[in-house]
A and B are shown apart, each in its own frame.
Chain A
């Protein structure tokens, strides 16, 4: 399982990924399907724009009071008989889960799909302790059995087709029947395999979509029912959540239950959502642990432009509308967070001096579709441009207001930025000295008043892609 760290720079990884015709065909089909469905689901709801504004403001309010919210959450979970742990980084979080498992003599546990657990590379760490974590989400199970990594937040096995899954299940699940490639048959095989695990496994690990401070309530949103199984049937439950997932009061959950399913799977509501507060006598796990994970989030919070990234509710809407993601696929981002959200979140969590992660803000055409789709109005293009500046700038300096003014102006209309970049590129020849641009005319001049700027790449992603298409590299129009 790959964690946060990209092993290669984005442009290099993208080049090899776009040559996979299976991946591209699947991606195109899935993103197009979800994109169209999402527009219908969103269009059906009156006040969608007002709900987005409210969702963004609700998250911002929580983040502005984050320490109070977390302390309140801790107190209310404890008051309901749960345990609360704090983890500064991935290693601390992994160690906490392993210790709890070892305390119960557990060598096998079941897991609800959780990107946060992938972020900390939990499964590999548990393996090293002799503990096997079984993924119970169908797509995650496919990914796990094939020793692969997820390529989409919502549909992690989006890059696999039914024939591959058929071969995999026939080999790995030890089913006496030979399975056909019918998705229903394959899902049935996973059901049989996992049923016994659900009924008999002592411990489960989950993530959390939201947690509510005043009631100590944790929430898991899902479709298959594997989440309900994991948070209900085992004796011990551990939930790992990023500190930004906390909300203030129970009533705050409403707007997100309106925004999330429609943005994510384009449904009016996802089939199942579970809410629990600590331990309920006689119902569900009688031991509950909540792990609050920082792992770079407080650094994101400290950044005035970047902090809006923490509003993200991991709906994946931005992936499905992104022309770069559609072509390059999730693996090109090299991180558990792919797509536009990954392009801004990963480098911020890892810091801009991570030499592979700092290529991610370039993984965008800046077309603005991600901002329009985002249910909590994260201005992804704005953060991308800002991070590009950070990647180019001297370490330790912050962008000055004049540069920010240029970015804001450029972003106020997408074409203006694209146009400005083209102009800058066309005209940059005489301005490059020793690989750095020291003065830039026109719209983007503000950028260079406070810093040197690496030359614009000779092509935008879009142009680069068009050229590849013309060369017939990808096999599809």
Chain B
């Protein structure tokens, strides 16, 4: 099989097909009116709760206690490099991912604590660009509980704001994971079942200031 041949033929077919096509004008991106910061944060909280994920808002010196509460009974915790050490309570069995844990080792961990790159209020979406404090993709995928600590200033109003905020990371070749609530399926008689393969529980901590 000649791939070069297939490539040339497909490109030729396309060029023949669109030969005399006008390039359409694209309208401007429609934007909602500006919201106050308080409204943006309130919307985010509302969406996270709507996804039946945990939500709590704390001051900077309350993070450690909030993480402890969010972890609940989970004892074995994996944390990515670059996570603020002040966020971690004592008495946990903390695993580091350097050198990288095997899939089997990761499967034996109860929970993961991370930060994020940006969060979108209107849709309640948390965007990870897997930079420092967020870990490689498998870290927030295999453990059953994900605790995510977000600075209030990282929460933007809309999807387009989120897309702009991570444009640099994407152009640098980094992968992204968008999370909106936890894993869910409605495949059997449209009954919603939470937690199929991803983390079954998501708990969000928003840090003011």
Do A and B truly interact?
A: yes
A positions within 8 Å CB-CB of B: 26, 29-30, 33-34, 46-47, 50-51, 53-54, 57-58, 60-61, 63-67, 70-71, 80, 85-88, 92, 95-96, 136-139, 142, 155-157, 160-162, 165, 183-184, 186-187, 190-191, 194-195, 198-200, 212, 215-217, 223-226, 228-229, 232-233, 243, 250-251, 253-255, 257-258, 261, 265, 267-278, 280, 282-284, 292, 294, 298-299, 301-302, 307
Convert B20-47 into 0s and 1s, putting 1 for each residue whose CB lies closer than 8 angstroms to a CB of A: 0111111101111000000000000001
Q: How far apart are the CA atoms of A250 and B172 in the complex, in Å?
A: 12
Expressed in whole angstroms, the minimum distance between the Cβ of B173 and any Cβ of chain A is 5
Instruction: Give the complex CA separation of A278 and B1 in angstroms.
Output: 24
Which of A88, A265, A267, A271 contacts B179 (CB under 8 A)?
Answer: A271
Chain A proximity mask over B186-200: 1 for CB below 8 Å, otherwise 0: 111111010111110
Whether A225 contacts B198 by the Cβ 8 Å rule is: yes
Q: How far is the CA of A375 from the CA of B141 in the complex (A)?
A: 31
In the complex where A64-B21, A258-B159 touch, is A53 in contact with B196 (Cβ < 8 A)? no
Taking A86-B3, A272-B183, A278-B173 as given, write out 19 further A-B residue pairs in contact, using a Cβ cutoff of 8 Å, ordered by the A residue number. Answer: A29-B189, A46-B32, A58-B26, A138-B187, A138-B188, A157-B187, A157-B188, A160-B188, A226-B196, A229-B141, A254-B29, A267-B180, A268-B122, A269-B159, A269-B178, A272-B177, A272-B180, A274-B178, A283-B136
Residue of A nearest to B6 (CB): A86
Query: Across the two chains, which residue of chain B brings its CB closest to A81?
Result: B173
- 30 CB contacts below 8 A, A to B, read A34-B190, A47-B30, A51-B30, A66-B18, A70-B11, A96-B1, A138-B196, A142-B188, A155-B187, A161-B189, A187-B185, A199-B107, A224-B196, A224-B198, A225-B197, A228-B177, A228-B197, A233-B138, A268-B123, A268-B124, A270-B180, A272-B177, A272-B179, A274-B176, A275-B170, A275-B176, A278-B173, A280-B174, A284-B175, A307-B17
Q: Does B125 contact A (CB under 8 A)?
A: yes
Given the known interface contacts A54-B30, A283-B130, the answer about A225 and B196 at a Cβ–Cβ threshold of 8 Å is: yes
Contact A277 B136 (CB under 8 A): no
In the complex, the chain B residue whose C-beta lies closest to that of A63 is B18
The residue of chain B having its C-beta at the shortest distance from the C-beta of A279 within the complex is: B173
Q: A4 vs B98: C-alpha distance in the bound complex, in angstroms?
A: 47
A60 touches B29 (CB 8 A): no
**Which residue on B lies nearest to A185, using beta carbons?**
B193
A232 partner residues in chain B, CB cutoff 8 A: 137-138, 141
B138 (CB) vs chain A CBs: closest residue: A232
B184 is an interface residue with CB less than 8 A from chain A: yes
Contact A187 B17 (CB under 8 A): no
Closest CB in chain A relative to B148 CB, distance in Å: 14
Residues of A close to B190: CB separation below 8 A: 29-30, 33-34, 155
Interface segment among B62-70, B71-79, B88-96, B160-168: the answer is B160-168
Q: Which residues of A contact B22 (CB under 8 A)?
A: 64
Contact B23 A272 (CB under 8 A): no
Q: How far is the CB of B179 from chain A (nearest CB, A)?
A: 6
Q: Is A271 in contact with B198, judged by CB distance below 8 angstroms?
A: yes
Per the bound structure, the CA–CA distance linking A302 and B21 in Å amounts to: 10
A56 → chain B, closest Cβ, in Å? 9
Cα separation A392 to B28 with both chains bound (whole Å): 41
Q: Is the CB of A302 within 8 A of B16?
A: yes
**A61-B26, A269-B178, A283-B137 known; A226-B197 Cβ under 8 A:** yes
CA distance A251 to B163 in the complex (A): 6
Expressed in whole angstroms, the minimum distance between the Cβ of B106 and any Cβ of chain A is 8
Query: Is B133 interfacial (CB-CB < 8 Å)?
Result: no
Bound-state CA distance A195–B196 (Å) is 10
Total B residues in contact with A, Cβ cutoff 8 Å? 73
A contact face: mostly helix, strand, loop, or mixed: helix
Which chain B residues lie closer than 8 Å to A162 at the CB level? Answer: 188-189
* Shortest Cβ distance from residue A76 to the other chain B in the assembled complex, whole angstroms: 9
Residues from chain B with a CB closer than 8 A to the CB of A261 are: 123
Collect the chain B residues with CB atoms within 8 Å of residue A198's CB: 197
* B61 at interface by CB-CB < 8 Å: no
Q: Inside 8 A of A268's CB, which chain B residues have their CB? A: 47, 122-124, 180
- The answer to whether A57 touches B27, judged by C-beta atoms less than 8 angstroms apart, is yes
B123 to chain A, nearest CB (A): 4
Contacts of B1 in A (CB 8 A): 92, 95-96
* Chain B residue contacts of A34, Cβ below 8 A: 190
Q: Chain B: which residue is nearest A53 at the CB level?
A: B27
Contacts of B181 in A (CB 8 A): 271
Asked if A292 and B10 make an inter-chain contact with CB atoms under 8 angstroms apart, the answer reads yes
Q: Is the CB of A184 within 8 A of B193?
A: yes
The residues of B that contact A63 with a CB separation of less than 8 Å are 18
Query: A165-B188, A228-B141, A301-B17 known; A272 and B29 CB under 8 Å?
Result: no
Does the CB pair A223–B183 fall under 8 Å? yes
- B30 near A50: Cβ-Cβ < 8 Å: yes
A53 — which chain B residues lie within 8 A by C-beta? 27
Report whether A155 and B186 are in contact in the complex, using a CB–CB cutoff of 8 Å.
Answer: yes
Known A51-B30, A228-B141, A275-B175; judge A139-B187 contact (CB<8 A). Answer: yes
B14 in the interface (beta carbon within 8 A): yes
Task: Determine whether the beta carbon of A257 is less than 8 Å from that of B103.
Answer: no
